Structures are given as C-alpha cells and as structure tokens.
Amino acid sequence: MAWVILAVLLAGGIVLTLTSGGVQLRYFAHMLKTVLGSRKGAGADGISSFQAFALGLADRVGTGNIAGVAIALSLGGPGAIFWMWVVAFLGMSTAFLESTLAQIYKVRNPDGTFRGGPAFYLRDGLGLKKLATVFAVCLILTKGFAFEMLQANTVATVASDVYDVPKWTMALILFLFSAPFIIGGVKPVARLTEFLAPVMAVAYLLLAVAMLIAHASMIPTVIGWIFTYAFGIHSITGGVIGGIVAALVQGTRRGLLSNEAGMGTVPNAAATATVNHPAKQGFIQSLGVFADTMVVCTCTAFIIMVSGLYTPGAESTGADGATMTLQAVGTLGEWTTPLMLVIIIVFGYSTMIGNYAYAEGNIKFLFGIDCRCRSLKTLVLAGIVVGSIIELDVVWAIADWMSAICAIMNIYAVVRLSKWAIGALRDYQAQLRGGTPIDDITFIARDNPHLPGNLAGDVWSRESWAASVDARAKDAPADHEDFLAWLVRQRD
C-alpha cells in the first residue's frame, strides 16, 4: 500500500500542478494576501474563510508534526524530509483544486451554513453515488476513530514519559475537554480553532527559532544530511537504492498524514466557508499545506537534527517520536519541557476536535442534515479514551490504509473534475485582471464562459447573488460580465 499511495500522490500532484499552471508558485503572494483579509464574511449563520482555514490548519497541525516527523527521521533518515517537501509542494496544487471543488459543489444547510467535500463532488460532480458513500464511510472511520486514537495516544504517552501521569488520567482529561465541543457541533469547533491554531503554531515556531539560534553551527550539517540522504549518497540501510526507497516512502507517508493534501479531509472544512468565490478558499487551503509541512514539519526536523541528540541511522524505530522531539527541545533548558508538553497537548487536542468536525459532515452526508450523530459522538469519545491507554502499532497501520484508500478515491475525483476548478481559477483571474477588488470577485455558475458547462444548484446562482444585495435578478443585465459589474455597484 505504501507504493500505491506514493504513486497516487506524486502522479496526482504532478498532473494537477501542470494542469493548474503551477498555481502554488504563481499565486503564493496572493495566497498570503487572501489569508490576511479572510476573517470577515461569515455573517451570523456561517463561518468565515479564515475560520475554515483555521479548522483545516488545526486538523493538519497535530501530533503528526511532532511524532510523525520524528518517525520519518528514524525510519527513513534525513532524506525523508526532502521528499516530505516534494509531497507538500505538489500537494499545494492538489489542495487548491480539491478545496475549490469542495466550494463549487457545496450545499446550503437550512440554517444558512454550508457543507461539502469529496463525497459531495463524487456524487454531484461525477454521479458516483456508491463511491461517494464508500468514501464517506472510510473518512468517518479514519477521522472519527483511527486518527482520534493516534492523537490521544501521543498526548497520553508524552505526559506519561515526562511526568509519569497515568494514561487513564490523561484519558479522563481529554474526554472531559473534548466532549463539550464534540457535542456542540462544527461552529463552536470553528470558533475555538480560530484562536488555538495560530497560537499553537506561533509558540512552536518561536521554540524552533530559539533552537536554531542556540545550535546555529549545526545548520549547514543538517541541510547537507537532508539532500545527501534523499538521493542515497549516504543511506540508513540497504545501500544507495535502499536509502532512497526508505527516505521516499517515509517522506511520502508522513507528508500525507501531516498535511493531508489529496486525502480528501480538508475539503470538508473548506466547503463550510462563506466566500464569494471558490478559488479564494482554494488559495487559503493551499497555503495551509505550506504552513503545515514547509514550516511546522521543517521546524520539527531541524529541532531534532540540530540538537546533537540525533545521529542518522542510530535510531532503529520511531516508537518514541514525540518524546524524541521533546528531548531535543530540552537541550535549551528544563523550562522547555512543560511548555512543549502544553504545545503537544494543544496540537493533539485541536486535531481531535477537528477530526470530529470532518467525520460529522460525512455522517450527515449519509443520513441527512438532521442526523444527531449520537453514534459518531460515542465512537469518537471512545476512540479518545481507548487510544489514550492502548498501544497503537495496529492503529497506525489501519490509519495508513484508511487514509490511502481515501486519497485514491479523492485524487481520482479531483483529476476527473479538475476542469471545473481550473475554470473557476480562470474566472477569478479574469476578474482580478479587470480590476475587481478581491472582496468583490464573485462566482456565477451558470452562463459562465470560463466553465465547461452550467452547474446545478442555487448556491452560486444569479438569483442567490441578487437576493444577497436585496435586488431582483430579473432587473440585472443578462450578460455574465455585465451582471458581475452590476452586482458590484449594488454592493456599493
């Protein structure tokens, strides 16, 4: 399965990068500008584009950024970090397209909020209802159970290793702190992660900067390790070919589990945002991949390698991945230990409640918007408790398999539907070049010359946009470009 997912992610990422014309390069600066201006727009009933970004970031930036990177270093050597970068670079285009598609095919809930994701564009975009159901079930099992156990286990293990806190005690603590938000639903999760995600990332980055300053002399050596081990010039095991294979496989697997680009999870958050144009959320979620892997995961890798506690090839397993990171930061002083423990707990906790939000959206896809999701809530809370206590070698394998299955189905759908996402990008480009302010760039899904056809539904209809400015669509110009200009005037 490792080779299958490696091929799917790399091939899919290459195809989508070429198809989008390297959107992650051409629009990187625009992505930053979009995120900085994305806090507004939610209204009373929806969640903002920034909240959707924060929800996606909170789910991406979990204990995998701490334990997963350490595991990749142990099993694949420093070269795994290079291939993690490659996967992230290609994944930025995948994230843009899958999140744009999630917006294009999202549906409106009775309370004015939105929901969507791969299950929706598999069903409504490709007409594959059975495959959409299979995807939803796989994602529920992945995010609602296996990944919850992984996060809880990492938090409980670190607390046990550092302060001898009994794992059952951490199980109880995590249960008590998770239950209110899991029972409360998606909107309180969005409000919480809007605050938690940036704070936990900034705190961790400051520690990384301190580590680099304290061990600056090691930085050239570490950079050399990453590139030489990536291409088998040195190898952990199995000679040149074995070294490349180990680095490639571990970098790809941990890259997927960290940034989740292509897995089909983050589009569930992207679809919930209230935005004027699907491409806007695509830009924001693409930047999330960069923030997760190129920034946070890279920080973890450098923290471990510059500390002096890591020697390539010395570690035989990654069983104590999170502890390895904590011990590396500990070279700054004993004061870092409680701070790192807090960061690990926040990383794991925010990811656990983010995981629930994704699983909830897919339960409601299967059983309807009025589903109370009681069985899911029970499953998630049980996973948190059980995951805190038991050993998770088998669960890691299950998580790898389930995430791989989700990624295969999602990449297939994104490639098949990429013409719609590219059409939305061209529509965005045309309005941007025409001088339309970013906040006024609007997507109309019918009679749009940039799209391959007309899109069903009322979310992106002329009538919906006219109603949003208290105007009658029949009074608006018939021409697509004239309607967009008319809409801007109405807003002013």
Smallest CA-to-CA distance from 52 within 105, 100, 12, 120 is with 100
The two three-digit tokens of residue 24, written as one number: 């992650």
Give the CB-side neighbour count of residue 314, counting CA atoms within 13 A.
Answer: 8
Going by pLDDT thresholds of 50, 70 and 90, the confidence category of residue 484 is: confident
User: Is the distance from CB of 97 to CB of 282 less than 8 angstroms?
Assistant: yes
Please state the φ and ψ torsions of residue 441, each to the nearest 5 degrees.
-65, 125
Distance CA 45, CA 251 (A): 40
Distance CA 106, CA 272 (A): 8
Q: Which residues pair with 47 in a beta bridge?
A: 273
User: Is the distance from CB of 259 to CB of 91 less than 8 angstroms?
Assistant: yes
The yes-or-no verdict on residue 128 having pLDDT over 90 is yes
303-312, 320-329, 363-372, 475-484: lowest mean pLDDT where?
320-329
The residue ranking higher by pLDDT, 315 or 112, is 112
What does the pLDDT look like over 73-92, one tens digit per residue?
A: 877 788 888 988 988 899 99
pLDDT score recorded for residue 129: 94
The yes-or-no verdict on residue 189 having pLDDT over 60 is no
Mean pLDDT, residues 303-331? 75
Q: Which CATH number fits domain 2-435: 1.10.4160, 2.60.120, 3.30.420, 1.10.357?
A: 1.10.4160
Distance CA 278, CA 104 (A): 6
What is the residue extent of each domain of the chain?
2-435
The residue ranking higher by pLDDT, 167 or 187, is 167
SS3 letters for the chain?
CHHHHHHHHHHHHHHHHHHCCCHHHHCHHHHHHHHHCCCCCCCCCCECHHHHHHHHHHHHCCHHHCHHHHHHHHHHCCHHHHHHHHHHHHHHHHHHHHHHHHHHCCEECCCCCEECCHHHHHHHHCCCHHHHHHHHHHHHHHHHHHHHHHHHHHHHHHHHHHHCCCHHHHHHHHHHHHHHHHHHCHHHHHHHHHHHHHHHHHHHHHHHHHHHHHCHHHHHHHHHHHHHHHCCCCCCCCHHHHHHHHHHHHHHHHHHHHHCCCCCCHHHHHCCECCCCHHHHHHHHHHHHHHHHHHHHHHHHHHHHHCCCCCCCCCCCCCCHHHHHHHHHHHHCCCHHHHHHHHHHHHHHHHHHHHHHHHHHHHHHHHCCCCCCHHHHHHHHHHHHHHHHCCCHHHHHHHHHHHHHHHHHHHHHHHHHHHHHHHHHHHHHHHHHCCCCHHHCCCCCCCCCCCCCCCCCCCCCHHHHHHHCCCCHHHCCCCHHHHHHHHHHHHC
User: Is the distance from CB of 66 to CB of 203 less than 8 angstroms?
Assistant: no
Distance CA 136, CA 130 (A): 10
The predicted model scores a pTM of: 0.86
Q: CB atoms < 10 A from the CB of 28, how many? A: 15
The two three-digit tokens of residue 218, written as one number: 């090691």
pLDDT score recorded for residue 57: 65
Mean pLDDT, residues 348-354? 77
Smallest CA-to-CA distance from 109 within 26, 203, 185 is with 185
Instruction: Give CA separation, 286 vs 59, 218, 293, in Å.
Output: 14, 31, 11
What does the pLDDT look like over 275-297, one tens digit per residue?
A: 899 999 999 989 988 988 888 88
The yes-or-no verdict on residue 63 having pLDDT over 80 is no
pLDDT score recorded for residue 368: 86
pLDDT score recorded for residue 144: 87
Burial class (CB in 10 A: 0-12, 13-18, 19+), 18: exposed
140-149, 170-179, 192-201, 304-313: lowest mean pLDDT where?
192-201
The yes-or-no verdict on residue 136 having pLDDT over 90 is yes
Mean pLDDT, residues 134-158? 88
75-89, 226-240, 471-485: lowest mean pLDDT where?
226-240
